[in-house]
Structure 1
């Protein structure tokens, strides 16, 4: 068999990079790195997997560093000719290639990723209309209706926010679904939906607050400056209909920190009795895949900087679980996630008719 020509050897580095960086499919880049030893070296030495990952997940560029399972930091200033530097480059390649692979796999058979609620910007009647009600895909309990309602506003353009904690500090999120609440007892059975919605993902600014027990209810509105949002979605229009409205993100998003905010933009309905504008939500669902323990978030105690810790063995197990799960149209929460939902509901039931036991965001957790 006649030996082929390695065209990369005939090109200067810049031209070779210009060609290979046009690969926007992770599988194509992996195939390119397997063509030959020289191609494998070229892909790793020029950090092409990292470049592809940052193009697909531009919001992860605020990570301070990534560490391997042995806590070795991935450096960006290494020489590929140095044996130790080459090992770091190989680990760099494996980490970012794994993140890209997780992106691709997350689109298959996604799961409900909400662990619990953090809080709402306002609540009209607490605890009856608590944000906790949005965890469950029903609109009626034995004791009454199940929904969250904002406080009434004279200005319909005042936004409202709902914040949730996801099942892991590192998740790939592909879709958020919202079901507005229909106020059936009013003439015309009006649906109190927002006019539009936008999503943010990120983490608590202070790593020392990651240990907050979010199951203490009712929650006071969490301060906006408690969070650092690394991703903001485009706006999506909402319809004044009571069905589950699905908002698929333009691209899967790597949520680093496990916090998701739903920003409800503008109220479409005015209440007839008091003349104020309200937004009511019956159910929220976040679809995606947790990447823990394959990837876990760590914070340095002194500096507060974030580290993404990569465990290749655990990540391999996650991929195997993805592959062995049966394809299904039903998106059910995992058993442990459902247990967390029920835990918040139980706390909600215990505090009904108790006037005031707020969870306070204060210096107690500093």
Structure 2
């Protein structure tokens, strides 16, 4: 029988790594790993699947290690020796990163809304009527009342404001963030209270338990930056003083790690006529991208700032299906309205129905679907 030589075995390791790094399809990586035992062992032993993932999103270089919570932990007794255990861990890591690579290269569909809940605003002028919670509703009128968030007024137009939101997953690929400044249709001249520019930060809670407890109450109307560690900051984008949903597309899709977004609103352009102070008001915020749940989750490892990547095999099909066919994953459970919120919405509805807070009919200009009492209890 003719002796066949594997040409990869004749090359230096760095050269082989360069060859495998040219693979940009997870299917090619799978095919390569079944060519021969040497190819398979090289792919697994050198972490090729992780290298390809890091090439797509450099933030993944901060993964300390991976785990499969729904699988049994690998132990020495399972595999017979520490060397065998090390190899089993490498095989597991290869499987996890290969699955992640499949998801990351399969994000072909249109992005979806990734905000799950509002968390806090650095200030609020009239809480709860002008709460950050209003920015999650695309309408600028709700039961005949203006729906927006407003900062407190300042004499100094350079004072910034921040809005913090929780995303639908602790791992999301974000492509775009949209903001609509509020036009005060009830004030003379219909002034628009936009910011001069905007910047975005990615982060995670210092204490997950403390932040979750805060989410069980009404969104905060005071600064909450001290509850988070912000790990990444975007460039600064200029805003225009226009009443439209302004799109801020990131130069490249970003793997959002930690599940929280801070919007920095920099500079004030509009002074209120009644008090001479500068305000920033936002009508609506959207974050567009793709959550990587339920297949993937993370756990931040402090104080190193690195993280544990958790892989749930049973959720892989769901994540792949939602990322390739345009369907949204299962929505996050909705937070129940508090008694105060329920009462406020009922009062608002009654005021509208009896005409106590009704604008002129021409000024309302409602869409057909805005006549529905969405979410009213």
| TM-score, normalising length: structure 1 | 0.79
The Cα of 1:187 is off from its aligned counterpart by: 4.3
Backbone CA RMSD of aligned residues: 3.5
Partners of 1:240 and 1:345 in 2: CA distance:
35
Q: Does residue 351 of structure 2 align to residue 350 of structure 1?
A: no
Which has the larger displacement, 47-56 or 123-132? 47-56
Q: Does residue 170 of structure 2 align to residue 169 of structure 1?
A: yes
The Cα of 1:148 is off from its aligned counterpart by: 0.5
Cα distance change on mapping 1:261 and 1:15 into 2, 3 Å = same
The Cα of 1:280 is off from its aligned counterpart by: 0.9
- Size of the aligned set, in residue pairs, is 338
The Cα of 1:111 is off from its aligned counterpart by: 1.9
What secondary structure sits across from 1:340 in the alignment?
Answer: coil
The Cα of 1:121 is off from its aligned counterpart by: 0.6
Partners of 1:72 and 1:210 in 2: CA distance:
30
Alignment of 1:217-296 (within 5 A): 217=218, 219-296=220-297
Cα distance change on mapping 1:287 and 1:17 into 2, 3 Å = same
Given that residues 207 and 299 in structure 1 are in contact (C-alpha distance below 8 angstroms), is that contact kept between their aligned partners in structure 2?
no
The Cα of 1:131 is off from its aligned counterpart by: 0.3
Alignment of 1:1-366 (within 5 A): 7-21=7-21, 25-27=24-26, 30=29, 33-34=32-33, 36-37=35-36, 38-69=38-69, 70=71, 72=73, 82-217=83-218, 219-298=220-299, 306-325=307-326, 336-337=331-332, 340=334, 343=336, 348-350=341-343
- After superposition, the C-alpha distances for 1:165-204 in whole angstroms (9 at most, x for unaligned) are 1122332222211111112244442321112211112211
Larger radius of gyration: 2
Cα distance change on mapping 1:237 and 1:305 into 2, 3 Å = closer
Given that residues 149 and 283 in structure 2 are in contact (C-alpha distance below 8 angstroms), is that contact kept between their aligned partners in structure 1?
yes
The Cα of 1:310 is off from its aligned counterpart by: 0.7
The Cα of 1:303 is off from its aligned counterpart by: 11
What secondary structure sits across from 2:176 in the alignment?
Answer: strand
- After superposition, the C-alpha distances for 1:260-284 in whole angstroms (9 at most, x for unaligned) are 1111122222223322221111011
- After superposition, the C-alpha distances for 1:209-258 in whole angstroms (9 at most, x for unaligned) are 25325142252324312101223222222222111112222232233332
Cα distance change on mapping 1:118 and 1:245 into 2, 3 Å = same
Cα distance change on mapping 1:21 and 1:334 into 2, 3 Å = closer
What secondary structure sits across from 2:215 in the alignment?
Answer: coil
